[in-house]
Structures are given as C-alpha cells and as structure tokens.
Structure 1
Amino acid sequence: MAINTVLFDLDGTLIDSLPLIRRTYEKVFEEMNIPWGDAQVMKHIGLPLVDIAKTFAGEARHPEFFKLYQHHYALEHDELTKPFPGTLEMLETLKSRGFRLGIVTSKTRQVALRSIGFLGIDRYMEVTVAVEDVTRHKPQPDPVLKALELMQAPVETAAYMGDSPFDILAAKRAGVTSIGVTWGMSERDELLRREPDRILQQWEDLIPILEAYSS
C-alpha cells in the first residue's frame, strides 16, 4: 500500500537543536553538581525529559533538574534553534504532493510548539503529538499510534522517521515504515542495528523512497 502519511521526530530530525540541548544539559549538570558524561547523557535524547531527570538527578531532585533545564533551554532557544538545511523545502514539496504530515516528539507540547512556530514548520503539520498526549513514550509505539489515530490514517499508509534508535523502535512496534536519518544524534551503524526499513542520508532521497512504496 502506498505511503501518504509521514510522521517526523523533531530534535535531530527536522530541527538542529542538539547544540542547544547539550549546552542546556551541561549548565544543569554543573549547577546541580552532577558528574557530566557526554556520551551517556546524549544517548538519552529522545526520551521524555522527566525520565532523563530521574535517571541523572534521582527521584528526589528530578523536579529541580526539570525546572532548571526548561529555564536554560528557553533562554537560548531562538539563538541556537534552526532547521536542518533543506528541511523547509522538503516539507513544502511533500505538502504540495499531497502527503499528510505530523510530528511525534518526546518534548512537552509548549516547547515543541514554540520550536515549530519559531521556524515556520507548524504550517505544514496536521498534528503534533507531545509527551503529554500519551502515557507510554518512545520507544513504545503509543505516540506514533496516537498521531495516526488523530489523523485517522491506517498504519499501512504511514512512515515515521527519526535520528534515534528510540524512533526506529517506536516505528517498528507501531507497524509503520521506519526511516532513520543520519544527520542527528546517532551514527548510521547505531541506527542499522535497529534494522530500520530505510536509512536517509539527505532530504533529497526521501521522495524516491516514498515513491518506491507506491510502485
């Protein structure tokens, strides 16, 4: 069956926010006197912030971690948030060809809407599923399935793409076509270990991939 619904992760997929995320974590870890381990921390991107806060700050201090993160993230958001090259052009092309588009992210709705509104991505999206919209989060399938429920789109006609193994797992568990992108957090080999249906190295390759499912 042809794919006509395309869902996207946000950070590291549509928007180049990883420098902002790393800088924010560094500040929070420093202020809370938590030992910093870059590789360990950054591998958690894609999970809900509250879960990351509990992992590194503990149950008792996680509200402080969450509040500090939101504070520092907001301060530098506009300066350090930008779309990846070709993102807006790709979304315009997909929309003009009749694809239905949505975002599935582990960010809070407020922060996600700020980012996509600031960058002009919101006008292309039919739905945005954020952390508050489901009880179970990526790598569980619930956020992807929630987006499809809101769009009334069958799984057979949908694809979900992201830069994290959590995205690939969520897509596969939801039964949609899974597409990994190589310009975000994870290396190509790390994505391949989760056996996505496709790997995308540049936006220009997306249309041919989607068209292949229609032939």
Structure 2
Amino acid sequence: MAVKAVILDVDGTLMDTNYLHTEAWWRAFEEVGQRAPRAAIHKEVGKGSDLLVPEFVEGEEAQGKVSDLHGEQYMAMQEYGLPLPGAKELVAALVERGYGVWFATSAEPQELEHHMQLLEAEGRIQGVVSSGDVENSKPAPDLFQEALDRAGVAADEAVAVGDSIWDVQAAKAANIRTIGVLSGGAYDEEALKVAGAVAVYDNCAALLESGFPEEE
C-alpha cells in the first residue's frame, strides 16, 4: 500500500542532541549523588524519562528531582543542538512531495520549539505527538499509534524513522515499517535491525538520497 504518512523521531534522528541529553542526565544524576557512566546513559536516551530514570537512580525522592534537573541542564546546552545532516532537507522534501509528516518525540515543549525553528518545520508538517500526549512512552507503541490516529492512516500506509532501538521497537509494536539511522550514535546497524528496522542508513542525508520513502 502507498505511503501516506512519515513519522519521524527527533532527537538523534533529525537533531544532534543525544549527546547533550546524555551529558544533561549525567549531571542530573551527579546532583542527586548517583553517578552513572555516560556510555550507559547514551544507550537509554530515546526512552521516556519515566523509564530511563529508574535505570540509574534509586529512591523516589531522588527520582522525582532528576527529571527537572535534567531539563535545567539540557536547556543550558540547547543552543548546541543543531540539525543533523540532511534533516531539514528531508523534512522539506517529504512535505513538498505531499506526504503527511509527523514528529513523534519525547522532547519537552521548550525543546520542541527550538527544534521546530531550526528544522524550519513550523507550519509545514502535519503535527507533533509528544510523550505528554500519551499514557506510555517509548518503547511502548503509544506515540506512534497516536500519530497514526491523528493522521487518519493505517499502519501499512505509514513509515517511521528513528535512531534508537526504543524508536524501532515502539514503531514495530504499532505495526509500522521502520527505518533506522545511525546518527544518534548509540546503536549500530545490527542492533537496529535486530530491534526490527527493515533498513538502516547513516543519516537523513543518505536516507533522502535513497529515494525514501518509495525506495529504501
């Protein structure tokens, strides 16, 4: 069936922000006295914070603090989060070719505003689904299912793109064909394919050159 909607992850897929989030989480964990290796944190970026935090922080009080601390730390570094190669061009090309483009992201509203501006996506894409719009965050399928519902398309009329196994698992659970990109830095081609990606590209630039979404 022909593709009508393209659902894009943001952090690590369109925006070079995964390492900023990793550092922000590391600093937040430090502030509550619970140090974690940055490499381990990086692997968890892409999950909802409700699932990420308990992987590294014990105690309800500390867990309750770290999300706010992460937000403060990340916002101080946000200016360094820039579009990844081909990201703006991919979004523009998909819109111009008549596809419904949706962002499915765990980004906070203030982060999303920054991303939308730099990606030149405001007023161009059909919409954004964030973790605040659904009951369960990635790797649950809720974000992608909500995007399908809002777009008014069936799963086989959509394709998703993400950089982490959490993106791929979530989209696959919603029965959406999913493409992986390596631009987030945490996962290699094999890991993304094991998670369920049908193809993997270096970044959005390579994906656009492939003829996506007609050909991958």
Q: Structure 2-normalised TM-score?
A: 0.90
Unaligned runs of 5+ in 1: none
- Partners of 2:8 and 2:167 in 1: CA distance: 9
Residue in 1 aligned with 2:187? Answer: 186
Root mean square deviation of aligned Cα: 1.8
CA offsets 1:116-156 (integer angstroms, 9 cap, x no match): 23442334321111111111222121110101111112211
SS class of match (1:153)? coil
Summarize the alignment of residues 17-56 of structure 1 with structure 2, pairs less than 5 Å apart: 17-56=17-56
Distance 1:24 1:99 in 2: 34
Q: Does 1:150 align with 2:150?
A: yes
Q: Sort the Cα spacing of 1:60 and 1:54 in 2 relative to 1 into closer, same or farther, 3 A.
A: farther
Amino acid at match of 1:9: D
How much has 1:12 moved relative to structure 2? 0.3
Contact 1:104 1:129 survives alignment (8 Å): yes
Sequence identity, in percent?
26
CA distance in 2, matches of 1:50, 1:172: 21
Q: Given residue 205 of structure 1, which amino acid in structure 2 is its aligned partner?
A: L
TM-score (norm 1): 0.90
The answer to whether structure 1 residue 208 and structure 2 residue 206 are counterparts is no
Alpha-carbon distance change, 181 to 55 in structure 1, aligned in 2, over 3 angstroms = same
1:106 maps to: 106
| Structure 1 Cα separation of the partners of residues 21 and 113 of structure 2 | 16
Deviation at 1:16, TM superposition (A): 0.3
Deviates more, 1:190-199 or 1:156-165: 190-199
Q: Once structures 1 and 2 are overlaid, which stretch shifts more, 119-128 or 88-97?
A: 119-128
CA distance in 2, matches of 1:50, 1:171: 19
The whole-number CA distance in structure 1 between the counterparts of 2:164 and 2:96 is: 28
Cα deviation, residue 23, structure 1: 2.1
Q: What's the CA shift for 1:110?
A: 3.7
